[in-house]
Amino acid sequence: MEQYKKEFIEFMIDCNVLKFGDFVTKSGRKTPFFVNTGFYRTGSQLKRLGEYYAQAIHDHFGFDFDVLFGPAYKGIPLSVAATIAISEKYDKDIRYCSNRKEVKDHGDKGILLGSPIQDGDKVIIIEDVTTAGTSIQETLPIIKAQGDVEVGGLVVSVDRMERGQGEKSALTEISEKYGMKTTAIVTMAEVVEHLYNKPYKGKVIIDDELKKAIDAYYDQYGVK
């Protein structure tokens, strides 16, 4: 596992973004782990988060695209932080764009924030976590409505590695249904590999009991 992935897993724990316990996902699944990117709250945290996303985008997509689109609301700071990091670290100037939940009818009118999307643009979507792939169904029509646009990929922070609407993983379903590449900074398998029975700051995060709960979750919701 690459060093930046290990660092990102520890970064999520330090920021209280990756939690273990009893939670319910947006899709109604009871889960022993939860990722909430709303807990990235400071400038330094967002700076680092953008750098991790930039690295994942670099490794899996390169920078042959024009716009990084972050769906409202959580995708807005993600798209901003990642495009800044791409500019600083890789000297590539990618435009950022997000949508509003409500169309604005005065001043800067329309549904988009940041850069307009134009015919011929190549777009990568940036999100926090994809569990069942529901949010992408809302995001794609907004992007496609802007013109003759190529949506080349989706990058998330954590691949939860569970089934989407059918028997395949949510990211695989999105990839096949919409013809785009998908990637994550880390997968839950990598999280478990890095944390299971290994102390971090003097504490074992994933012990045998929690590992059993995670395994049981994947027996129910994992890819068969």
What is the residue extent of each domain of the chain? 1-219
Annotated binding site for 5-phospho-alpha-D-ribose 1-diphosphate: 26, 73-74, 100-101, 104, 106, 127-135
Q: How remote is the C-alpha of 206 from its chain's centroid? A: 22
pLDDT at 132 over 80: no
Reported as a pLDDT band with limits 50, 70 and 90, residue 218 is very high
Q: At what angle are helices 134-144 and 170-178 packed, to 10 degrees?
A: 30
Task: Give yes or no for a contact between 185 and 158, defined as CB atoms under 8 angstroms apart.
Answer: yes
pLDDT of residue 133: 63
- Please pick, among 89, 104, 198, 212, the residue that the annotation labels catalytic: 104
Give 204's strand partners: 199
pLDDT of residue 100: 84
Annotated binding site for orotate: 131, 160
Give dist(CA 16, CA 39) in Å, integer. 6
- Please pick, among 5, 6, 89, 106, the residue that the annotation labels catalytic: 106
Give dist(CA 124, CA 150) in Å, integer. 9
pLDDT digits (tens, 9 = 90+) for 166-209: 888 888 988 998 899 999 999 999 999 999 999 999 999 999 99
Of 58, 116, 113, residue with least CA distance to 82: 58
Residue with tokens 């009893």: 22
Annotated binding site: 26, 73-74, 100-101, 104, 106, 127-135, 160
Give dist(CA 81, CA 72) in Å, integer. 14
Q: Indicate the SS3 state at residue 77.
A: helix
Buried b (16+ CB within 10 A) or exposed e, 190-206: bbbbbbeeeeeeeeebb
- Of residues 224 and 156, the one with the higher pLDDT is 156
pLDDT of residue 169: 87
Q: Cis peptide leading into 4, omega within 30 of 0?
A: no
For residue 201, CA distances in Å to 10, 13, 111, 139, 154 come to 10, 11, 45, 39, 33
Q: What is the CATH number of domain 1-219?
A: 3.40.50.2020
Identify whether 58 is a catalytic site residue: no
Q: Indicate the SS3 state at residue 12.
A: helix
Longest dimension (CA), the chain: 57
Identify whether 104 is a catalytic site residue: yes
pLDDT digits (tens, 9 = 90+) for 64-110: 999 999 998 889 999 999 999 999 999 999 999 999 876 656 545 57
Give dist(CA 158, CA 152) in Å, integer. 19
